[in-house]
Structure 1
C-alpha cells in the first residue's frame, strides 16, 4: 500500500500486520454471509486503501486473477458495498469502498432478504391458490380432505404473516428507521 512508503520498515511491517488481521477477519465474516472469503478480503483491502483502485492494482496486490477480481467487484457493486468512481486522467474503471458499515449491513441484508421473501411469498401464493381450488373441487362431503386442506391453508397463512413482517423489517432497514429502534453508536 503506497501510503506506507517512507515509514520505517519496522513500523510499516507492524501496520501491515495489523491491517492484515482486520482484512482476514472481514474475509471470514463475509464468508458467514455467503460471500466468498476472497471477496471479503478484497473489500478489506479496498477499505484500507485510501482512494480508488483499479482491477489491475487489486489483482497485483492480492495475487488473484483479473477475472476473479472482476467477479468480486461485481458482487460488491451489486451489494452496494463499493462504488464505481471517475478519476480525472484515468481511462480504467476505478472502485472505492462505501465506508458506511451501517449502510453496508442494511443494503446487504435487505437485498438478500427481499429476494428470498419475494420468492417464498410467490411460491406460497401459488400453493394457496391450488389448495383453494382443491377445496372447491372436493366439496364439503370429503371431510378428511377438507380438514387436511384447511390445515395446510392455515400453515401457509401463518408463514405469510411472517414474510409480511419480514418485509416491514426490510423496509425499516432500507429507510433507516431501524436506527430509531437500535441507534448507531456515536463516538
Structure 2
C-alpha cells in the first residue's frame, strides 16, 4: 500500500513540476525528464530513464544532452559502472533563473538592436515629420525592452 501511494504522489509531483518547467520553454519530454531526475535520489542511466518514462533511449539521450547544455543535468562517474549516469542539479531557483534570464537578456538585446536600426531609418528618412506617431511608439517599445533587460539582469544577479 505504501509503495503505491508513494508512487502515485511522486508521479503527481513530477507531472505538476514538469508543467512549471515547460513554462521555461522546455519540451514536454525535457520537462518530465528533468522532473523525474530531480525527484530521483540517485544518478540514472539512459536505459533507466527510458524505461521509467516510456520513451526511446535516443529520445532520452537527446533530452539529457539538452538539459546538460543548460547546466540542469550533470553526468556523474561511479566506480565499476560502465554506462553514463546522470543526475539533476538540485539548485532549482538559481539554475533556472540564470539560464532563463540569460536567454531573455540575449533575446531582448537582439530585438532592441533591430528596433534601434529602425529608429535610425526613421530619423534619417523622416524630413517631413510624417512618422512622429511611429517614432513615439518606437521609443516606448525601446524603453519597454530596456526595462525587460534590466529586470532580468537584476534577477540574474540574485
TM-score with structure 1 length normalisation? Answer: 0.74
2:146 aligned to which of 164, 175, 181: 164
Give 1:154's aligned residue: 136
Q: Is the 8 A contact 2:24 2:100 kept in 1?
A: no
- 1:23 Cα deviation after fit: 0.8
Distance 1:173 1:55 in 2: 34
Aligned residues: 158
Relative to structure 1, the CA distance from residue 152 to residue 14 in structure 2 (aligned partners, 3 Å threshold; closer, same or farther) is: same
Stretches of structure 2 lacking an aligned partner (at least 5 in a row): none
1:24 aligned to which of 15, 23, 27: 15
1:99 aligns with 2:90: yes
1:40 aligns with 2:23: no
- 1:65 Cα deviation after fit: 0.9
Stretches of structure 1 lacking an aligned partner (at least 5 in a row): 1-9, 177-187
- 1:25 Cα deviation after fit: 0.9
Q: Is the 8 A contact 1:79 1:107 kept in 2?
A: no
Relative to structure 1, the CA distance from residue 167 to residue 88 in structure 2 (aligned partners, 3 Å threshold; closer, same or farther) is: farther
Distance 1:96 1:15 in 2: 21
Distance 1:33 1:48 in 2: 19
Q: Which has the larger radius of gyration?
A: 1
- 1:37 Cα deviation after fit: 2.2
Q: Which moved more, 1:31-40 or 1:42-51?
A: 31-40
Relative contact order: is structure 1 or structure 2 higher (C-alpha 8 Å, sep ≥ 6)? 2
TM-score with structure 2 length normalisation? Answer: 0.85
Distance 1:90 1:130 in 2: 61
Deviations 1:92-116, CA, capped at 9 Å, x for gaps = 3322111222114412431331232
Distance 1:98 1:24 in 2: 18
Q: Which moved more, 1:24-33 or 1:62-71?
A: 24-33
RMSD value, Cα: 2.0
2:71 aligned to which of 63, 80, 85: 80
